[in-house]
Amino acid sequence: MSTENRAQTEADLIVRRYSVSGRVQGVGFRWFVHREAAALGLRGWVRNTPSGTVELVAAGSLADLAKLRMALEQGSRGSRVDRVEENALAASEADTLGVFTIEGAW
């Protein structure tokens, strides 16, 4: 990929923060999110929160983020997704994101 194309790709990144509530902790949901996000080539992270939700930040194309949102709404085997909240973040947030990771995993 040329430097110009790479710059264009970086500039086109969209960043979203998601909060997923339901039965999403202790059921492999973070691993599910990691697998889905990595398969889409997204950058970002996922983690459990003290309130019982799963929070994630993902950067990628609008189409790939829409696919991730659909996966989040469906959930993993054993999970129950009651709600997915989505908020846009500044594109500059993508600068701090690397390969998609699970935070707080052993």
What tens digit of pLDDT does each residue of 23-35 get? 999 999 999 999 9
Does the pLDDT at position 6 exceed 50? no
HSE of 45, CA atoms in CB hemisphere, 13 A: 12
Domains of the chain: 3-91 (3.30.70.100)
**Annotation marks residue 5 as catalytic:** no
**Annotation marks residue 48 as catalytic:** yes
Closest CA to 96 of 33, 10, 30: 10
| Structure tokens, 65 | 């983020």
- The active-site residue, picked from 16, 17, 23, 30, is 30
- The active-site residue, picked from 47, 48, 77, 83, is 48
What tens digit of pLDDT does each residue of 72-96 get? 999 999 999 999 999 999 999 999 9
pTM of the model: 0.87
* Contact call for residues 53 and 24 (beta carbons, < 8 A): yes
Strand 101-102 relative to strand 80-89, pairing: unpaired
* Contact call for residues 57 and 90 (beta carbons, < 8 A): no
